[in-house]
C-alpha cells in the first residue's frame, strides 16, 4: 500500500474538495481544510500488529498522515509519549482511573512538535522553502526548529510577553524573530503585512494550512493504541486554537471508520482559563462560533487565544461527543501544577495543569463519574515555564 493514503482536502464549511498536492492554505470560503484518506485502502493494507512493530514515534501511523514519501519525513524522534497513571493524585480527586498523556517528553518540550514535524515535512514535500507564522511561543519554537532541520527559512512573530525560552529557541536555530507589543492577533496582523511585501513564504498560522492538525491528531492515535485500542471515557484538552482537540476527535473518528476502535467516543472537554474563555462562553450560550474575548490574560500563555479560526469545529466536537467546555482560574491552575508535581513527581506546564483544575471541578459537579477512565493531556513540560513556580 502507499506510504500515505491521503486522497484530498475537504472543506468542513462549504463542502468543496481540493487537491492536497499543491501549496494550499484556507478554502476559497475562508474555512480551514481537513485532509481525507482512503480508509478502505488502509483497512485492507495495514494491521494493528504491523503498527505495533514500528519505531516508537508518530510516523508509525504514516498511512494516516499526509506525507507521501518516506524521504520527505523531517523527524527529531517526536511522538509515542508516555501515558502515565496518576494513582495518588487521582485518588485525591476521586477519579481513580486518571491518566496523563505527557507531552513534556518531546522535542522542543511541547506537543507543538507534532504539528511542526508533519506540517514542515509536508510543506517541504509540496515545494515550500520559507514559512511564516504568528505564535504565543511554543508553536514558533517548534516550527523554527523543524524548519532548521529541513533546511527551510522561518519568520516567527511572537508577543513580547511570551516565555523567554521560546525566543531563545527561535534564535538558536537561526530563524528570523519579530517581537510584537501585543497579543497573538497583533502578531498575525504583522505576519500578513510581511507576506504582502515578501515573496515565497507560506503562512503556516494555526489552521491556515491543513497539516499541523494531522500531526496533532497523532495524540489521539497514540492514546487509542496505548490503551490497547480501547477508548477512555473522557479526554481533557487545554484549548487555545483548539487544533489538538479537533485533531484528537478526527483521529478517533478515523479509527472508528477503520473498525480499529468501537463503542462511544470519549467525551471531549475543552478547558480554558477564566481570563480567556471564548469557547466556554460560546458553549454556555449554545452558539456555533465564539466571539473575540477582550483583554485576554492568563498564566497559561499557550491558551491565550481570544478568537480561534477553528472554534466552530471545537464546539462541534464537544457537542457530538457529549463533552463540555469549562473555564478554570489561574490560582487553581497554579495550585494544580504544584500538587501534581508534589504527589506524582511530574513538573507539568500551566496549560496541562488547567486540565487537572477542571477534573477537580467536573468531579465535584458529578459531570465526571468516580469510575470514569479520564485522560488529561499535559501539553508541555514545566521546564519551559520556570517562573510559574516559587523558588
Ligand X SMILES: *Cc1c(COP(=O)(O)O)cnc(C)c1O
Q: Segment near ligand X (CB under 6 A), from 28-36, 52-60, 237-245, 317-325?
A: 237-245
Q: Segment near ligand X (CB under 6 A), from 18-26, 160-168, 195-203, 234-242?
A: 234-242
Find how far residue 35's CA is from the centre of its chain: 16
Q: Which of 134, 302, 306, 323 binds ligand X (CB under 6 A)?
A: 302
Q: How far apart, in whole angstroms, are the C-alpha atoms of residue 88 and residue 90?
A: 5
Q: Does 313 bind Zn ion (CB under 5 A)?
A: no
Site track 174-213 with ligand X (rule: CB under 6 A), x = hit: --------------------------------x-------
Q: Report helix, strand or coil for 84.
A: strand
Cell numbers at residue 378, please?
A: 499535559
Cell numbers at residue 90, please?
A: 487521582
- DSSP β-bridge partners for residue 133: 156
Q: Segment near ligand X (CB under 6 A), from 23-31, 239-247, 320-328, 366-374?
A: 239-247
Output the CA angle 341-75-271, nearest 5 degrees.
40
| Binding-site partner at residue 184 among Zn ion, ligand X, none, CB < 5 to 8 Å by type | none
Output the CA–CA distances (angstroms, integers) from residue 173 to 136, 146, 302, in the order listed: 18, 9, 21
Q: How far apart, in whole angstroms, are the C-alpha atoms of residue 27 and residue 22?
A: 13
Q: Which of 5, 6, 9, 27 binds Zn ion (CB under 5 A)?
A: 27
Q: Does 81 bind Zn ion (CB under 5 A)?
A: no
Integer-rounded Cα radius of gyration of the chain: 19
Site track 3-22 with Zn ion (rule: CB under 5 A), x = hit: --------x-xx-x------
Q: Does 121 bind ligand X (CB under 6 A)?
A: no
* Closest among 100, 116, 99 to 108, alpha carbons compared: 116
Residue burial 210-221, b: 16+ Cβ < 10 Å; e: rest:
bbbbbbbbbbbb
Q: Which of 170, 349, 362, 375 binds ligand X (CB under 6 A)?
A: 349
Q: Does 242 bind ligand X (CB under 6 A)?
A: yes
Nearer residue to ligand X within complex by CB, 31 or 110: 110
Q: Does 379 bind ligand X (CB under 6 A)?
A: yes
What does the DSSP 8-state code read for residue 63? G
Q: Segment near ligand X (CB under 6 A), from 4-12, 49-57, 233-241, 316-324?
A: 233-241
Find how far residue 330's CA is from the centre of its chain: 21
141-160: which residues touch ligand X (CB under 6 A)? Answer: none
Q: Does 81 bind ligand X (CB under 6 A)?
A: no
* Closest among 112, 124, 109 to 74, alpha carbons compared: 124
Binding site residues, Zn ion, CB under 5 A: 11, 13-14, 16, 27, 29, 31
Binding site residues, ligand X, CB under 6 A: 110, 112, 138-139, 206, 238-244, 302-303, 349, 351, 379-380
Amino acid at each position: 500500500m502507499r506510504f500515505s493514503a491521503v486522497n484530498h482536502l475537504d472543506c468542513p464549511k462549504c463542502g468543496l474538495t481540493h487537491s492536497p498536492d499543491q501549496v494550499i492554505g484556507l478554502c476559497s470560503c475562508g474555512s480551514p481544510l481537513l485532509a481525507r484518506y482512503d480508509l478502505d485502502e488502509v483497512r485492507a493494507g495495514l494491521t494493528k500488529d504491523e503498527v505495533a512493530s514500528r519505531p516508537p514515534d508518530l510516523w508509525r501511523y504514516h498511512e494516516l498522515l499526509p506525507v507521501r514519501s518516506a524521504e520527505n519525513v523531517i523527524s527529531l524522534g517526536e511522538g509515542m509519549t508516555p501515558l502515565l497513571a496518576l494513582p495518588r493524585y487521582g485518588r485525591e480527586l476521586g477519579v481513580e482511573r486518571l491518566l496523563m498523556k505527557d507531552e513534556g517528553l518531546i522535542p522542543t518540550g511541547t506537543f507543538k512538535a507534532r504539528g511542526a514535524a508533519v506540517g514542515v515535512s509536508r510543506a517541504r514535500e509540496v515545494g515550500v522553502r520559507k514559512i511564516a507564522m504568528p505564535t504565543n511561543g511554543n508553536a514558533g519554537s517548534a516550527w523554527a526548529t523543524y524548519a532548521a532541520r529541513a533546511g527551510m527559512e522561518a519568520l516567527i512573530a511572537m508577543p513580547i510577553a511570551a516565555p523567554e525560552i521560546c525566543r531563545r529557541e527561535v534564535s538558536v536555530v537561526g530563524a528570523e524573530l519579530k517581537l510584537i507589543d501585543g497579543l497573538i492577533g497583533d502578531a498575525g496582523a504583522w505576519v500578513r503585512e510581511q507576506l504582502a511585501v515578501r515573496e515565497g513564504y507560506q503562512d503556516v498560522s494555526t489552521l491556515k494550512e491543513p497539516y499541523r492538525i494531522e500531526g496533532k491528531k497523532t495524540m489521539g492515535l497514540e492514546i487509542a493504541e496505548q490503551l490497547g485500542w480501547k477508548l477512555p471515557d473522557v479526554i481533557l484538552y487545554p484549548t487555545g486554537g483548539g487544533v489538538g482537540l479537533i485533531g484528537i476527535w478526527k483521529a478517533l473518528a478515523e479509527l472508528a471508520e477503520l473498525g480499529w476502535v468501537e463503542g462511544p467516543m470519549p467525551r471531549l472537554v475543552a478547558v480554558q482559563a477564566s481570563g480567556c474563555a471564548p469557547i466556554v462562553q460560546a458553549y454556555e450560550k449554545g452558539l456555533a462560533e465564539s466571539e473575540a474575548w477582550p483583554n485576554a490574560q492568563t498564566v497559561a500563555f499557550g491558551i491565550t487565544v481570544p478568537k480561534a479560526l477553528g472554534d466552530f469545529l471545537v464546539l462541534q466536537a464537544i457537542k457530538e461527543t457529549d463533552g463540555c467546555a469549562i473555564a478554570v482560574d489561574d490560582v487553581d491552575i497554579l495550585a494544580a501544577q504544584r500538587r501534581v508535581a508534589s504527589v506524582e513527581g511530574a513538573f507539568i506546564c500551566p496549560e496541562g495543569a488547567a486540565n487537572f483544575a477542571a477534573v477537580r471541578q467536573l468531579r465535584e459537579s458529578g459531570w465526571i463519574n468516580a469510575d470514569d477512565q479520564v485522560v488529561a493531556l499535559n501539553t508541555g513540560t514545566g521546564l519551559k515555564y520556570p517562573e510559574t513556580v516559587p523558588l
